[in-house]
Amino acid sequence: MEVFAIVSLRPDLKSINLHIVSIGALDQAMAHPREILKSAILSNAAAMMLVHNHTAGRVLPSQGADECP
């Protein structure tokens, strides 16, 4: 199961919080930009780090992973 999350960061790049944006299916996790930005804005973050896992254990991007809707 793929997970997409955001880590909100302070100006010194220390973490404020971790917010799981989406828990998806076996090979994908959908995340709308509104939900990604919402956590950072509500946390008054200076920066954010987007993270997700690769359930297949492969570190190369899957087909379509670099496409934005």
Residue ranges per structural domain of the chain: 19-50
What number of other Cβ atoms are within 10 A of residue 55's Cβ?
15
User: pLDDT over 70 for what percent of the chain?
Assistant: 78
**In this structure, are residues 10 and 48 in contact, taking their beta carbons and an 8 Å threshold?**
no
What is the per-residue pLDDT across 4-24, written as a single tens digit (0 to 9) for each?
899 999 999 999 999 999 887
User: pLDDT over 90 for what percent of the chain?
Assistant: 45
Q: pTM here? A: 0.75
1-5, 49-53, 64-68: which has the minimum mean pLDDT? 64-68
The predicted structure's pLDDT at residue 5: 93
How far is the C-alpha of 48 from the C-alpha of 46, rounded, in Å? 7
